[in-house]
Structure 1
Amino acid sequence: MSTHIDSTHFTDGTEVEISSNDNGFRGAWYAGTVIKPKNTNKNNKHLIIVEYKTLMADESGTKPLRETLDVVQLRPVPPREKRDREFKFSEEVDAYYSDGWWEGVVTGVLPGDRYSVFFRATREQLEFGQSELRVHREWVYGKWVPPLEQEEEPSNCMESKVGNNEKIQKGASVEVCSDEDGFQGAWFAATVIEELSFGKFKIEYKSLRNDDDTAFMTEEVDTAHIRPCPPNETVAHFRLYEEVDALHNDGWWVGVISKVLSKQRYEVFFRATDEEIVFKQSDLRRHLEWINGKWVSSESVCNSMNRKTK
């Protein structure tokens, strides 16, 4: 996530992390360097030439790959971790794998400072050493959330509307993400039918039907695929490059406002599918991340920043 992106962050020589839209690379962030910002193109996009540090353009691995990308695919380099940091079960992390950082969830704390990490995007569970993991952070309005110095304390950039997974019980309204092809990256409204053992839940979707269209679809999901429903909010308008969730094909998909058409209509860019779609105001909501049992709110980040500058 890179909410409210300012292209002035990325001058010549700036070290950055880059997200890719190519198949097999979506969901990862790669280290790179800004070679040259370009002028805004005819579609009002800010384009930047970058050079990757770990991805090569040739088979011999001697020529770093260069690409011209939209600024929405860039973010600054996250802060370094504290040494010997221990990670906890169900904590969201980034794991260094296949030359990039991939978002995952800790599903097992193993002997010898080793951890099992589950990746929603690929449905894989792999083992990593402590040095191969970092805290999952989001770049929100020019600040990292959570910031390095506050990662052990509750941050006023986070709004705790619902507690941890113990609050998710029978009858609760939740959102569920899917790993099936064509549905990855979307969240779907559901109701918890039953709380099962080993951190699993039986849920019934509110919008997805079974194959013969006779009833709503039911499924068993684990804690890595379920979260409370985000708080209901009224947003007067969305801003250019603001990250949003868009209601599309019965689910909420994360995207970025790429063009403000009017106060009630917006063009939204989706990294996962590399497409742009026009939405009404009523089909969009402010994007929130559920991290370590709390909602990460862009607005609360801004309020915190304002308080610090007064």
Structure 2
Amino acid sequence: MANDLNSVFKPGAEVEVSSNDNGFRGAWYAGTVIKPKTYKNKQLIQVEYKTLMSDESGTKPLRETLDVVQLRPLPPREKRDRDFKFSEEVDAYYNDGWWEGVITALLPGNRYSVFFRATREQLEFSGTELRVHREWFYGNWVPPLEQEQAEASISIELNTCDHIKFTKGADVEICSDEDGFYGAWFSATVLEQLSNGSFKVEYKSLRNDDDTAFLTEIVDTNHIRPCPPPPREGDPFRMFEEVDALYNDGWWVGVVIKVLNRQKYEVYFRGTEEQMVFKQSDLRRHLEWINGKWVSSSAVCNLVNR
């Protein structure tokens, strides 16, 4: 890491804090470092939140002791009058924190419609409530502010399908909000569409509790999508490109952090802070299914010195 953690997260430093709690995944909250701690060889940081309170009257800021991986410095400042583009990845200020989303519509009056992967919601924001989405990797911001114009996340649309109907026998993917499976997509087949608009599906790789058959489940429209278009064979991945990795019978969203030899890649998973090595055949480019379209963010290819 370019900067020593003790200097980055020293007492009084302004930081942002992430949470893995249900209902708060994907959000970053402003805070101040109170003091570092060490417990069982684990580096912990006590922080005080700026917008979250510990009492009902809202006068006492919440304090927590967290793993250092849940902290990052404040993102670099940017121009307040910035125009955002369709399908650009952004953070939206909502419920006292910054939530990762994707621009799905440009509206009059410098307003934008934003889709949130974590909750499958779509909400409207003004431009002043948005900022460029950045990741904190090895002591550097991606994309860095000085390269924003050249490397801002530019998106493309693929396979526009405004009226997808999931008929019986259709191959689909299903996502889960359960602990241990959050953020992953699993292959399934539609068995039937129910009268309330939900779907009964049978998974292709997940088994029931007694392992006698493939698992069946009822899912709503927010947790089902078509299978993504097949990847182009032999097309290599690039540093800091978002990918889906095939692991534990599902596709998990990660970021390529190292290109290895023999068509292998090291992938970082934000949700678990894990890093794993995958063959190219077990990876695909990450796509989002938004408003009946496949949308892909371009990779950030150049990074400031690590």
Question: TM-score normalised to the size of structure 1?
Answer: 0.62
8 Å contact kept, 2:253–2:269: no
State the distance in 2 between where 1:98 and 1:73 align. 19
Alignment of 1:259-278 (within 5 A): 271=271
Task: Please tell me whether residue 141 in structure 1 is matched to residue 138 in structure 2.
Answer: yes
State the distance in 2 between where 1:82 and 1:147 align. 14
Q: Which amino acid aligns with 2:72?
A: R
Task: Please tell me whether residue 53 in structure 1 is matched to residue 50 in structure 2.
Answer: yes
8 Å contact kept, 2:27–2:97: yes
* Structure 1 residues 126 and 147: CA distance shift in structure 2, 3 A: same
State the distance in 2 between where 1:221 and 1:180 align. 15
* Structure 1 residues 152 and 73: CA distance shift in structure 2, 3 A: same
Q: Which residue of 2 aligns with 1:250?
A: 250
Task: Please tell me whether residue 293 in structure 1 is matched to residue 301 in structure 2.
Answer: no
Task: Please tell me whether residue 305 in structure 1 is matched to residue 301 in structure 2.
Answer: no
8 Å contact kept, 2:245–2:278: no
State the 1:120 CA deviation: 1.1
Q: Which residue of 2 aligns with 1:100?
A: 97
* Structure 1 residues 207 and 254: CA distance shift in structure 2, 3 A: farther
Q: Any unmatched runs of 5+ in structure 1? A: 170-175, 191-204, 234-243, 256-267
Q: Which residue of 1 aligns with 2:67?
A: 70
Return the match for 1:185 from 183, 186, 209.
183
Q: Which residue of 1 aligns with 2:193?
A: none
- SS of residue matched to 2:305: helix
Identity of aligned pairs, percent? 55
* Structure 1 residues 69 and 112: CA distance shift in structure 2, 3 A: same
State the 1:254 CA deviation: 5.2
* Structure 1 residues 36 and 280: CA distance shift in structure 2, 3 A: closer
Q: Which residue of 1 aligns with 2:85?
A: 88
- SS of residue matched to 1:305: coil
- SS of residue matched to 2:119: coil
- SS of residue matched to 1:22: coil
State the distance in 2 between where 1:7 and 1:178 align. 39
State the distance in 1 between where 2:276 and 2:83 align. 44
- SS of residue matched to 1:153: helix
* Structure 1 residues 280 and 30: CA distance shift in structure 2, 3 A: closer
- SS of residue matched to 1:151: helix
8 Å contact kept, 1:114–1:128: yes
Q: Which amino acid aligns with 1:121?
A: A
State the distance in 2 between where 1:280 and 1:289 align. 17
Q: Which residue of 1 aligns with 2:23?
A: 24
* Structure 1 residues 90 and 280: CA distance shift in structure 2, 3 A: closer
Q: Which amino acid aligns with 1:94?
A: D
Q: How many residues align?
A: 245
State the distance in 1 between where 2:44 and 2:246 align. 24
Per-residue Cα deviation, 1:114-172 (whole angstroms, up to 9, x for no partner): 111011111111110110000101111111111112111138xx9x9xx8444899xxx
Return the match for 1:121 from 96, 118, 121.
118
State the distance in 1 between where 2:113 and 2:97 align. 18
State the 1:180 CA deviation: 3.3
**Highest relative contact order (Cα 8 Å, sep 6+), 1 or 2?**
1
Question: TM-score normalised to the size of structure 2?
Answer: 0.63
Q: Any unmatched runs of 5+ in structure 2? A: 162-171, 189-201, 216-223, 238-243, 256-267, 288-294
State the 1:7 CA deviation: 2.1
